[in-house]
Amino acid sequence: MGLVLPTPFDGQTGTPGPEWASTLNTALEDVDAHDHSDGSGAPITPAAMDINANLDMNGYRLTEVDSVELENQSVTNSVAGLVYRVGDNLYFNNSAGVPVQITAGTTVNASITNAKAVTTPGAFPYSVTTGDTLKVVLVDTSAARTINLPAATNAMSVTIKDKTGSAGTNNISLVPAGADSIDGSAATYALNSNWAALELISDGVSAWFIV
């Protein structure tokens, strides 16, 4: 700590009594203020630390950390808010203390929702149903085809795709229901480019829009 210490007085040399006491008091005050911060003692090295209990950060964050290496643990649901490793996977305990698996091997442990599925009509004309929402309708254009859209009162999205590459010759006719419109027109819409695809969304009232 760089303490200034008094020299024992031998009657002839050394620190006089009053100065001795003052210097000693100053040294003791420096020892009392010793907290290993810069200028207040030597830094604590990892070799000097042996943490054998939970370390309370008093509500503060651990900052400027290069990385965190987690030891392998068993799944526990006793404490909410824990983040820990079990085998090769990462877990988090929710507010109820229930373990939630975050990773699964080399991927995030999550199922894909709202992913588009595929349907291939076996006969035409084909009438799209609300069950086709978020689906891609693959249309065989070996002949001209007609696709009937459901009422736009059903808010949904559907994609129409020329799967055989002949829509330029054998158009795919998209027919709106009743007075419904497709991009502002109540007329049949022709998909007439080879390998073309378009996505339609309804407004839940009376209109379809191409996106």
- 208 contacts 183 by C-beta, under 8 angstroms: yes
- Report if residue 56 sits inside a domain: no
139 and 197 inside one domain: yes
> What is the per-residue pLDDT for 147?
98
- Specify if 11 maps to a domain: yes
Q: What is the pTM of this model?
A: 0.51
Q: Which domain holds residue 88?
A: 63-110
pLDDT in tens, 152-165: 998 999 999 999 99
Residue 20's pLDDT is 61
Q: Are residues 106 and 175 in the same domain?
A: no
Do 156 and 205 lie in one domain? The reply is yes
- For residue 204, give the amino acid letter: G
Answer yes or no: do 134 and 163 share one domain.
yes
In a domain, 22, yes or no: yes
Residues 87, 28, single domain; the answer is: no
> Cα angle at 166 between 165 and 172, to 5 degrees?
105
Kindly report, residue by residue over 40-81, the tens digit of the pLDDT: 767 778 787 788 888 888 989 999 999 999 999 888 767 889
> Do β-strands 89-93 and 83-86 pair in parallel, antiparallel, or remain unpaired?
antiparallel
Q: Rounded to 5 degrees, what angle do the CA atoms 157, 178, 141 make? A: 55
5 within some domain: yes
Q: pLDDT value at position 177?
A: 96
Residue 80 inside a domain? The answer is: yes
Residue 53 maps to a domain: no
Output the pLDDT for position 208: 97
Is 136 in the same domain as 202? yes
Which pLDDT belongs to residue 66? 93
The last residue of one of the domains, among 83, 110, 137, is 110
Is 136 in the same domain as 195?
A: yes
Distance (Å, whole) CA 2 – CA 39: 9
Query: Does one domain contain both 136 and 166?
Result: yes
**177 and 129 share a domain?**
yes
Q: Say whether both 21 and 94 belong to one domain.
A: no
In this prediction, the residues of the chain whose per-residue pLDDT falls under 50 are none
Query: Does one domain contain both 200 and 125?
Result: yes
CA distances from 39 to 3, 6, 33, 36, 63 (A): 11, 21, 10, 8, 22
Over the range 68-101, which residues count as b (16 or more CB within 10 Å of their CB) and which as e?
A: eeeeeeeeeeeeeeeebbbeeebbebeeeeeeee
Total domain count, the chain: 3
The candidate with the shortest Cα–Cα distance to 200, out of 124, 144, 147, is: 147
In this prediction, residue 98 carries a pLDDT of 87
Phi/psi region, residue 199 (left: phi>0; alpha: psi -120 to 50; beta: rest), is beta
For residue 3, the model assigns a pLDDT of 64
Closest CA to 157 of 209, 207, 200: 200
Q: Based on the domain organization, do 143 and 189 belong to the same domain?
A: yes
